Amino acid sequence: MAFKTTRLDRFIARSSGFSIADTRLLIAQQRIIVDGLPAESAQQRVTAFTQVMLNGKALNDTKAVYLMLNKPQGVVSATKDPKHATVLDLIQHPAKESLHIVGRLDFNSTGLLLLTNDGAWSRKISLPETKLRKTYEVTVSTPMNEAYISAFQSGIYFGYEDLMTQPAELEIVSPFTARLSLVEGRYHQVKRMFGHFQNKVLALHRVSVGSLTLGGLELGDSRLLTRRELERVGLD
Neighbours of 141 (CB within 10 A): 11
> Which among 5, 36, 41 is positioned nearest to 23, based on CA atoms?
41
- Residue 146: count of CB within 10 angstroms of its CB: 9
Q: Please give the Cα distance from 84 to 67 (Å, whole number).
A: 22
- Nearest CA to 15 out of 49, 51, 60, 63 is that of 60
Please list the active-site residues. Answer: 106
**Chain length of the chain:** 236
Burial of 49 by CB count in 10 Å (0-12 exposed, 13-18 middle, 19+ buried)? middle
CA pair distance 92, 132, nearest whole angstrom = 28
Among residues 170, 181, 120, the alpha carbon closest in space to that of 145 is found at 170
- How far apart CA 11 and CA 13 sit, in angstroms, is 5
